[in-house]
Chains A and B, each alone.
Chain A
Amino acid sequence: MATSLRAWLVDDSPSSRLQARLGRAWRIAGALSRNPLAVVGTVIILALVLTAIFAPLLATHDPLKQDLTQRLLAPSAANWMGTDELGRDIWSRVVYGARITLVIVTMVAVLAAPAGLIIGALAGYFGGWPDRILMGITDIFLSLPKLILALALVAALGPGIENAVIAIAITTWPGYARIARAETLTFKNSEFIAAIRLQGASSLRVVLGHVLPLCTSSMIVRVTLDMAGIILTAAGLGFIGLGAQPPLPEWGAMIARGRSFILDQWWVATMPGFAIIVVSLGFCFLGDGLRDVLDPKSGEQH
């Protein structure tokens, strides 16, 4: 059974689109599993997703419940990462914080990647003035310092997770637009696009149905590599007090609260930091691995 499934997946001449797609996914997964760092990255990301889903089961305490008799306790069997200045269990807060991080990262990817993809593909496909104007705007955004821009945007929009997501997405899309444009230019004059056009497909159909799907693999690589930066920016906004608002257990905001206790109760600020580092590293590892598999040309540049 298992061998026949494998044979079906690696079949050289797939008989259906589904078989071809699953076969490709199988080959990519196989190539990834031979890269130890990529495996570690995958495990970390899976752990993040599972932690976010099963947070109520993994948390040992209520992440928001204050108990001033239990404040600033060192890590112990009862409180694995100690307690904070309001007596809340840090482990439980870190576990619930995974949800916030995952939501932020997903929302930024969902907003910025399609926006950049469409802008870049349109610029590349139509060329001429639309290209010049769209890429002029893109280049201006690319040459600005991202963090500062995000800070100023959140200052204007007001603090909160939603606005932090919007601000980060606004600073992230230009990178994707550049990639999508470059990819589009390489496909634009190929014969299969000409064939589709001869069949009477509209420009919109060509771009959405045939150009964009070809950009996705380099896009996935880039988005994964960007995730660490997005997490750090979101945590930075939370740390300054412009991201997630209390009492939400956002990791950056938790570090900010632990600042006053860093000398004596080090665990309050350091524990959420470790969570940020592990998750960011996970995305870096996975992104590096994915790039080697999906986009081997771009090499070590990132």
Chain B
Amino acid sequence: MAFEPDTAAASVVAGTAKPVGSGKHKRFLLALAGFVLTLAFTFLGLLAITFFIGRIVPIDPVLAVVGDRAPKAVYEAARIEMGLDRPLIVQFFNYIGSVLSGDLGTSVSTGKLVADDLKRVFPATLEMATIGIIVGVLLGVPMGVYAASRQGNLVDQAIRVVGLLGYAVPAFWLGLVGLAVFYARLKWVGGPGRVDIFYDGLVQPVTGLILIDSLIAGERDIFFNALWHLALPASVLGFFSLAYIARMTRSFMLDQLAQEYVTTARVKGVPERLVIWRHAFRPILVPLITVIGLSYAGLLEGSVMIETIFSWPGIGNYLTTALLNADMNAVLGSTLVIGAVFIGINKLSDVLYRVLDPRAR
């Protein structure tokens, strides 16, 4: 599964240097306004797409409410009550209104409000993706730096292959194989689910993140059990972010190591370790933040495939269950939330880049 954040990374990384002059504040405000405007525009686009998808569903929403044996008068009344007789554009504005007020409709399969369901399942996904990105950064960055410093040797080639495998291995397949090997054969990690069955529901949800909740409740056993269960799904996700982060780190580092100031440092006799970490690594920190942000957003998306494998009670599992039951409110609600978080993280890393890079300020 390639959680590849597309061309956005490249365009952000390329960064445009703007001239710094008088009226800094004015320019800042203008930039801020422009940013808010594009963000609003993108969200509007997301809403338009989910609205449109909701319209092309071959299921008649009125029939779903009144049943297919309702008399014509009842059908018409329900249709008018649901606002489906109005022009599309009015329906769209109504839709925006209800989404903004937090109303995503009722899920057919759980019988609850989609917004409440999403609030309940989202923390599980967030927890898995966060541990995943930590694994990805802790392993991916050093791997990329090492590969660049030994360009062309065997380890570099191996790291390049790992990077490409990140684009070629299906996430759900890796999860399955991981379960078969590390859980069933080797018994190194916990199986499906967030905790063992007898710990289930013991911890009072405060944040919804079981690692934090169990610590709050002072349940050390549950904390370690949860970590034990998280290890495999988070590592699988971590592998994909590692592949991408290592690849990007390597290419950033190669750019830096080819610069003249690095040669100068080497000629001056600076030890190679310092050349790499103090001289070459520092400047790539800023573009790396963007890469990590994009990768994190990708993991939230990628968890959809992983969660089914690990019976993880997160948004991905919720979405796939809804998909199979043609539960469109739940599908569109999940799409909206994942899409919004995805856009949010992407734009945030974009902003961080602009704030942190003196050339783009």
Q: A156 within 8 Å of B by Cβ?
A: yes
B173 touches A269 (CB 8 A): yes
Q: A276 within 8 Å of B by Cβ?
A: yes
Residue of B7, B57, B251 ringed by the most chain A CB atoms within 10 A: B7
Q: Which of B172, B247, B332 contacts A236 (CB 8 A)?
A: B172
For the residues of B in contact with A, the DSSP-based class is helix
The segment out of B119-127, B177-185, B208-216 that lies at the interface is B177-185
What separation, in Å, do the CA atoms of A11 and B146 have in the docked complex?
45
CB-CB < 8 A to B298: which residues of A?
145
Q: Which of B168, B332, B338 contacts A145 (CB 8 A)?
A: B338
Q: Which of A149, A178, A228, A241 contacts B335 (CB 8 A)?
A: A149
CB-CB < 8 A to B305: which residues of A?
147, 236, 239-240
The segment out of B40-48, B194-202, B275-283 that lies at the interface is B40-48
Contacting A at CB under 8 A, from B307-327, are: 308-309, 319-320, 322-324, 326
What separation, in Å, do the CA atoms of A255 and B328 have in the docked complex?
26
Residue of B167, B300, B319, B320 ringed by the most chain A CB atoms within 10 A: B167
With A178-B7, A301-B9 already in contact, the answer to whether A152 and B332 are too (CB < 8 A) is yes
Report the minimal beta-carbon distance from B143 to chain A, rounded to whole angstroms: 15
Give the number of residue pairs across the A-B interface with Cβ within 8 Å: 164
Contacting A at CB under 8 A, from B204-247, are: 247
With A149-B335, A232-B1, A241-B324 already in contact, the answer to whether A142 and B7 are too (CB < 8 A) is yes
**Can you list 30 residue pairs at the A/B interface with Cβ under 8 Å?**
A137-B45, A140-B42, A142-B6, A144-B46, A144-B339, A145-B298, A145-B300, A145-B301, A145-B338, A147-B302, A148-B301, A151-B323, A156-B54, A156-B57, A229-B167, A236-B171, A239-B305, A255-B173, A259-B309, A262-B177, A262-B179, A281-B165, A284-B168, A288-B164, A299-B251, A300-B250, A300-B251, A300-B254, A301-B9, A301-B13
Interface residues of A (CB under 8 A from B): 136-137, 139-149, 151-158, 175, 178, 228-229, 232, 235-236, 239-242, 252, 255, 258-259, 262-263, 266, 269-270, 273, 276-277, 280-281, 284-285, 288, 299-302
Interface residues of B (CB under 8 A from A): 1-2, 4, 6-10, 13, 41-42, 45-46, 49-50, 53-54, 56-58, 164-165, 167-173, 176-177, 179-180, 184, 247, 250-251, 254, 297-298, 300-302, 304-305, 308-309, 319-320, 322-324, 326, 328, 331-332, 334-335, 338-339, 342-343, 346-347
